[in-house]
Amino acid sequence: MSVVKLTYHGHSCFGIDVDGTRLLIDPFLTGNELADITADQVEADYILISHGHGDHVGDTIQIAERTGAMTISNFEIQCWLAAQGVERTHPLHIGGGYDFPFGRVKLTIAHHGSALPDGSYGGQPAGFLLYLEGKKIYHACDTGLFYDMKLIGEEGLDVAILPIGDNFTMGPDDALRAVKLLEPQVVIPIHYDTFEVIQQDPGAFAARVEAETAAKCVVLKAGDTYQL
């Protein structure tokens, strides 16, 4: 019986355990007071980075160095990470996917920016479509609402991980419209409360999702795990 376990580490960061292989998405831990784990503790075999902003690249370099994890993102960020000394890199680009030993990763569009912390060009921002042990997970990362979410939803999603913080990404109103386009089984809200300008009430969002759509909304605190 295969098991996929999502553990939320705050903001946009998840650890995903796929039958013992550990994926880590957008490891912004140092500097996030709401994170439940530190960059020294977190384990990873693969690190997925959605875009170049500091609250997503986060501690990638340090964690990759300590764990030997392979990093996965768009081409531009992989070139930047390699130049910082990261040894194992796998570049992808929007619309492309690759079958890794743990499952498939495909990059989706996202409407956002992607400059790297030192101002380097970080290419286009992305979301992730993950195919893990027969489960389909869409992590939208940082994005505004876009109608092509309907195409992503045609995959038949088990889980959609959506930002609700507003200001830098979709807020709750547009995230609710996103749920209607994506039609996932389960929605997990992210990218809120970390900063003053993205304070939200995830419980109120969950109530709206469950009143207006067929999806179940699971609100995770940092450290919580959701098993598929």
- Contacts with Ni ion, residue ranges (CB under 5 A): 53, 142
Minimal distance in Å, beta carbon 38 to Mn ion? 20
Contact between 193 and Mn ion per CB under 5 A? no
Among residue numbers 31 through 60, which ones bind Mn ion (CB under 5 A)? 55
CA atoms of 102 and 147, how far apart (whole Å): 30
- Decide whether 9 or 53 has the Cβ nearer to Ni ion: 53
Q: How far is the CB of 126 from Mn ion (least distance, A)?
A: 13
In the complex with Mn ion, the residue whose CB is nearer, 100 or 192, is 192
Shortest CB 53 distance to Mn ion, Å: 5
Q: Residue 223 and residue 5: Cα distance in Å, rounded?
A: 12
Q: What distance in Å separates the CA atoms of residue 119 and residue 133, rounded to the nearest whole number?
A: 37
The two tokens of residue 48 are 């997925």
Query: Which of 226, 227, 223 lies closest to 29 in space, CA to CA?
Result: 223
Single residue of 142, 166, 174, 193 touching Mn ion by CB under 5 A: 142
**Nearest residue to Ni ion, by Cβ distance, number only:** 53
Token pair belonging to 166? 């507003």
Q: Which is nearer to Mn ion, 125 or 184 (CB)?
A: 125
Q: Shortest Cβ distance from residue 58 to Mn ion (Å)?
A: 10
E-strand ranges in the chain read: 4-8, 14-18, 21-25, 46-48, 70-74, 89-92, 97-100, 103-109, 126-132, 135-139, 159-163, 186-190, 216-217, 225-227
> Minimum CB separation from Mn ion for residue 197, in Å?
11
What single string gives the DSSP state of each residue in 80-125?
HHHHTT---EEEE-TT-EEEETTEEEEEEE-SS----TTS------
- In the numeric block, the tokens 């179940």 are attached to 216
Q: Which does 139 bind (CB under 5 to 8 A by kind): Mn ion, Ni ion, none?
A: none
Least spacing, CB of residue 152 vs Ni ion, in Å: 19
By beta-carbon proximity to Mn ion, the closer residue of 103 and 163 is 163
Alpha-carbon span 34 to 80, nearest angstrom: 27
* CB closer to Ni ion out of 194 and 228: 194
Q: Residues binding Mn ion: what is the number (CB under 5 A)?
A: 2
Fill in the DSSP letter of residue 6: E
Nearer to Ni ion, 53 or 136 (CB): 53
Q: Binding residues for Mn ion, per CB under 5 A?
A: 55, 142
